[in-house]
């Protein structure tokens, strides 16, 4: 169970070399969430590659068309960045809804985008999982939520992802090949176990690029307390000047969910229906399933009211 080495690359190139030469490694961003996985023996890497010393991953740069955010920028830092605050208040709102103020000084943008999926029956200690009989994402062969085999419905809980979905963000990934640029939407799989795509060949999410584009945004996160809690439902939405809209939903399915359209083409009921169809929500959160589903509708209602003004 013990980690053999802790590596601190100074550049992305360094990190990729280390990844190539160390089998069973784990990239560490802020580590605020993944550390708990280590303690609970949910993951057992032999080597940790800590990306926090890599300066090039901590830059925020902007021009007239877009802002690029280094993946290792802390959530605290983006909340305090003037250009982000001016052009992307939605990002600030989403970032400030994550963790606690102290956690946000360590937790990173990239870490949140790639946060591990959660499930009540998985995010538990080793002893707990043993007593329940382990789930299929762990060493078992049965989903403990649905009591069936074959599919895991763990939830993606990235609040930033919901926001970035509706901002039509791009992400840059460096890997052992040439690297790639893709829409953030393409980063996720509707799969509770294999929930990220395009990170093979030791891929590192290095940058997030946000196109500057006018429009009105809306954000809401469902949770019991006003701090610390992971999302039970996050909805971020943006309406562009041409009445196109993008809605990002998260916390209610194996990946963030995107709904797009034009307000002249679809009504609220149509949007709700799309949302219901797109979310594979199961009872794996502290908030009851029925309630979380109801809240999707309620939040969309509230968003709808907000855009009528």
Partner 1 sequence: MSGPIGKRTPYIEAVQKVTGQAQFAEDFHFSNMLYVKFLRSPHTHAKIQNINLSKAKKLAGVCAISIGRDLPIPFGVLPISPDETAMAVNKVRYIGEIVAAVAAESEKIAHEACSLIEVDYEPIRDFLEPDDSLIDCSPDEQIHSHSKNGTNVHKVAELYFNDPKKAIQNSDISCTRTFKFAGVTHGFTEPHATVAQWNDDETLKVITATQVPHYLQKYLSKVLEIPLHKIRVIKPVVGGGFGGKSDPFPHEIITSYLSIKTHRPVKCVFTREEVFISNHGRHPTKMTLSVGADKQGKITGLDTDIVIDGGSYGSFGVVTSYYNGVLLQGPYRINEFGFTTTRTYTNKPQCGAMRGHGAVNPRYAMEVIIDELSHSLKMDPCDFREKNFLPANTLTVGQLRITSNGVLDCLKAVREKSAWDERYGNMPDGRGLGIACGFFISGSALPINWNRYPQTVVHTKLDFDGRVVIFSGASDIGQGSDTMLVQITAEELGITMDRVQVEVADTKLTPVDLGSYSSRVTFMVGNAAKSSSIKLRDELIKTISKEKNIKPESIQFENNRIFTEDKSLNMSWDEGVEICLAGRGSIVTMGYYISPQLGGKFKGSGAGLSPSYSFGAFISEVSVDKKTGAVKVEKVWGAHDCGKALNPLAVEGQIEGSIHMGLGQAISEELVYENGQFLNSNFIDYKIPSTLDTPDMDVTIIESDDKEGPYGAKEAGEGPIHPVLPAIGNAIFDAVRVRMYELPITPDKVLRAIKEKI
Partner 2 sequence: MIKVTLNINDFDRTLLVEPDENLLYTLRERLLLTGTKKGCDQASCGTCTVLMDKKPILSCITPTLRCEGKSIHTIESVAKNGKLHPIQDQLVKHGGLQCGFCTPGFVMTSIEFLEENKNPTESEIKEALSGNLCRCTGYKKIIEAVKAASEDMK
List binders of partner 2 among 39-98 (CB under 8 A): 39, 48, 50, 52
In the complex, what is the shortest distance from the CB of residue 99 to partner 1, in angstroms, rounded to a whole number? 10
Rounded alpha-carbon distances, angstroms, from residue 178 to 6, 143, 150, 283, 298: 26, 38, 34, 41, 44
Nearest alpha-carbon partner for 291 in 281, 280, 300, 301: 281
Question: Is position 115 an interface residue for partner 2 (rule: CB under 8 A)?
Answer: no
213 binds, among partner 1, partner 2, none (CB under 5 to 8 A by kind): none
Task: Considering only the stretches 79-87, 249-257, 271-279, 281-289, report the one whose residues sit in contact with partner 1 under the rule CB under 8 A.
Answer: 281-289
Task: Considering only the stretches 47-55, 83-91, 120-128, 171-179, report the one whose residues sit in contact with partner 1 under the rule CB under 8 A.
Answer: 120-128
Question: Is position 11 an interface residue for partner 1 (rule: CB under 8 A)?
Answer: no
Rounded alpha-carbon distances, angstroms, from residue 182 to 76, 170, 207, 237, 307: 25, 6, 11, 20, 29
Quickly list H helices, 27-170.
Answer: 34-39, 75-79, 82-87, 89-96, 101-104, 109-113, 126-132, 159-166
4 binds, among partner 2, partner 1, none (CB under 5 to 8 A by kind): partner 2
Cβ–Cβ under 8 Å, residues 174 and 12: yes
**How far is 240 from 263, CA to CA, in rounded Å?**
10
3 binds, among partner 1, partner 2, none (CB under 5 to 8 A by kind): partner 2
Measured from the CB atom, is 142 or 287 closer to partner 1? 287
Site pattern 215..234 for partner 2 (x: CB under 8 A):
-----------xxx------
Question: Is position 3 an interface residue for partner 2 (rule: CB under 8 A)?
Answer: yes
Count Cβ atoms below 10 Å from residue 119 Cβ, excluding itself. 23
**How far is 235 from 221, CA to CA, in rounded Å?**
6
Q: Is 272 exposed, middle or buried (0-12, 13-18, 19+ CB in 10 A)?
A: middle
Give the 3-state DSSP-derived string for 22-33, with helices as H, strands as E and coil as C. Answer: CCCEEEECCCCC
182 binds, among partner 1, partner 2, none (CB under 5 to 8 A by kind): none
Measured from the CB atom, is 102 or 182 closer to partner 2? 102
Question: Is position 286 an interface residue for partner 2 (rule: CB under 8 A)?
Answer: no
Question: Is position 139 an interface residue for partner 1 (rule: CB under 8 A)?
Answer: no
Question: Is position 127 an interface residue for partner 1 (rule: CB under 8 A)?
Answer: yes
Question: Is position 229 an interface residue for partner 1 (rule: CB under 8 A)?
Answer: yes
Question: Is position 189 an interface residue for partner 1 (rule: CB under 8 A)?
Answer: no
Task: Considering only the stretches 108-116, 151-159, 218-226, 255-263, report the one whose residues sit in contact with partner 1 under the rule CB under 8 A.
Answer: 218-226
**How far is 298 from 309, CA to CA, in rounded Å?**
18
Cβ-based neighbours of 129, under 8 Å, separated by 6 or more: 121, 122, 135, 138
Measured from the CB atom, is 224 or 265 closer to partner 1? 224
Q: Is 4 exposed, middle or buried (0-12, 13-18, 19+ CB in 10 A)?
A: exposed
17 binds, among partner 1, partner 2, none (CB under 5 to 8 A by kind): none
Binding residues (CB under 8 A) for partner 2: these are: 2-6, 8, 28, 31-33, 35-36, 38-39, 48, 50, 52, 99-103, 105-106, 226-228
């Amino acid at each position: 169970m013990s980690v053999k080495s802790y590596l601190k690359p100074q550049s992305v190139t360094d990190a990729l070399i280390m990844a190539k030469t160390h089998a069973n490694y784990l990239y560490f961003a802020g580590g605020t969430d993944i550390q708990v996985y280590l303690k609970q023996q949910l993951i057992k890497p032999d080597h940790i590659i800590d990306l926090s010393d890599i300066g090039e991953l901590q830059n925020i740069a902007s021009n007239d068309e877009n802002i690029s955010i280094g993946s290792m920028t802390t959530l605290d830092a983006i909340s305090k960045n003037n250009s982000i605050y001016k052009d992307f208040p939605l990002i600030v709102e989403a970032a400030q809804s994550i963790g606690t103020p102290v956690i946000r000084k360590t937790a990173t943008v990239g870490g949140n985008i790639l946060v591990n999926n959660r499930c009540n029956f998985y995010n538990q200690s080793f002893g707990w999982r043993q007593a329940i009989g382990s789930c299929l994402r762990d060493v078992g062969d049965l989903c403990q939520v649905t009591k069936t085999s074959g599919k895991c419905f763990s939830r993606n809980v990235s609040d930033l992802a919901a926001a970035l979905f509706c901002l039509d963000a791009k992400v840059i990934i460096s890997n052992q090949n040439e690297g790639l640029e893709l829409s953030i939407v393409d980063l996720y799989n509707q799969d509770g176990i294999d929930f990220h795509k395009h990170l093979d060949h030791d891929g590192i999410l290095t940058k997030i690029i946000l196109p500057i584009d006018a429009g009105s945004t809306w954000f809401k996160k469902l949770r019991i307390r006003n701090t610390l809690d992971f999302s039970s439902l996050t909805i971020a939405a943006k309406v562009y000047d041409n009445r196109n809209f993008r809605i990002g939903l998260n916390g209610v399915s194996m990946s963030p969910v995107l709904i797009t359209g034009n307000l002249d083409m679809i009504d609220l009921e149509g949007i709700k229906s799309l949302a219901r169809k797109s979310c594979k929500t199961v009872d794996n959160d502290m908030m009851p399933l029925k309630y979380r589903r109801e809240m999707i509708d309620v939040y969309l209602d509230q968003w709808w009211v907000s855009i009528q003004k």
